[in-house]
């Protein structure tokens, strides 16, 4: 007798396989928002990649917007868009690439769960990017340790549009989180203080830089409070 084992998808994969993304005006607005954050550090990233192999991985790629943006950089030779749901990427990448005039020939999609060991060789990647994805790790320490493993000695780790706790409103924010569809579906959903992100990166051997970016005029006026009263921007880390 032959027994066939049917693997049940994780709650994260099941949720994102079913997510409706990739078409319509809402998608175009979403892509513009992500691209605005990317533009705030794109030149710095391109400069940092000069003289490297130019290999970038986007983890939790979803709409593949960061991957499409990165494909336009002169010093990028290959972009690997990795996500727990290949269906999710397939729904989005063609429209995203068209909106951004991306160099689709540079982009490869890979289905992987970043809560497991990353499917990349040691010191084989020049930059790893997250867009509103790092906080989805079930164990952020393990994920950052894996990023450290696969990045080259001069590698960069960039996390934009992260989910930040505000020390003054943390109780309300966590109460809100408990009511989200993701948590109801047992999807990994977390929030951290900016100082906690910095702690996890520092203990795993990264230097820390915060690049502020906001679309809000009021927050631009209050720029001195960015990183304390509110956090809008990208975390840009280098291996040390």
CATH number of 133's domain: 3.40.50.150
pLDDT of residue 1: 39
Instruction: Kindly state whether residue 6 falls inside one of the protein's structural domains.
Output: no
pTM here is 0.92
Domain region containing 214:
11-164+193-223+231-239
pLDDT of residue 21: 76
pLDDT of residue 6: 41
Instruction: Kindly state whether residue 114 falls inside one of the protein's structural domains.
Output: yes
pLDDT of residue 147: 98
Instruction: Kindly state whether residue 138 falls inside one of the protein's structural domains.
Output: yes
Q: In the chain, which stretches have pLDDT less than 70? A: 1-7
Instruction: Kindly state whether residue 187 falls inside one of the protein's structural domains.
Output: no
What's 78's DSSP letter?
A: E
CA gap 99, 101 in Å, rounded:
6
> Among 103, 141, 146, 142, which residue's Cα sits nearest to residue 124?
146
Q: Which residues of 126-137 are buried (b: 16+ CB within 10 A; e: fewer)?
A: bbbbbbbbbbbb
Instruction: Kindly state whether residue 2 falls inside one of the protein's structural domains.
Output: no
Instruction: Kindly state whether residue 93 falls inside one of the protein's structural domains.
Output: yes
Instruction: Kindly state whether residue 179 falls inside one of the protein's structural domains.
Output: no
Specify the number of domains making up the chain.
Answer: 1
CA gap 69, 38 in Å, rounded:
7
pLDDT of residue 25: 82
Instruction: Kindly state whether residue 180 falls inside one of the protein's structural domains.
Output: no
């Amino acid at each position: 007798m032959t027994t066939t084992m049917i693997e049940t998808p994780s709650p994260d994969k099941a949720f994102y396989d079913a997510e409706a993304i990739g078409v319509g005006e809402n998608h175009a607005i979403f892509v513009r928002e992500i691209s605005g954050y990317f533009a705030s550090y794109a030149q710095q990233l391109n400069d940092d990649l000069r003289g490297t192999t130019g290999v970038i991985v986007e983890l939790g790629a979803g709409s593949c917007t960061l991957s499409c943006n990165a494909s336009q950089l002169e010093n990028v030779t290959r972009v690997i868009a990795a996500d727990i749901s290949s269906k999710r990427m397939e729904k989005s990448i063609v429209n995203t690439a068209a909106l951004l005039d991306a160099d689709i020939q540079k982009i490869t999609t890979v289905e992987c769960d970043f809560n497991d060991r990353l499917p990349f060789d040691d010191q084989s990647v020049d930059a790893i990017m997250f867009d509103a994805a790092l906080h989805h790790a079930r164990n952020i320490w393990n994920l950052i340790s894996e990023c450290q493993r696969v990045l080259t000695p001069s590698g960069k780790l960039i996390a934009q549009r992260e989910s930040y706790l505000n020390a003054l409103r943390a109780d309300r924010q966590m109460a809100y989180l408990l009511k989200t569809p993701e948590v109801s579906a047992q999807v990994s959903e977390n929030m951290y203080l900016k100082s906690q992100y910095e702690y996890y990166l520092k203990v795993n051997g990264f230097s820390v830089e915060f690049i502020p970016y906001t679309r809000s005029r009021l927050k631009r006026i209050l720029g001195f409070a960015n990183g304390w009263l509110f956090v809008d921007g990208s975390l840009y880390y280098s291996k040390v």
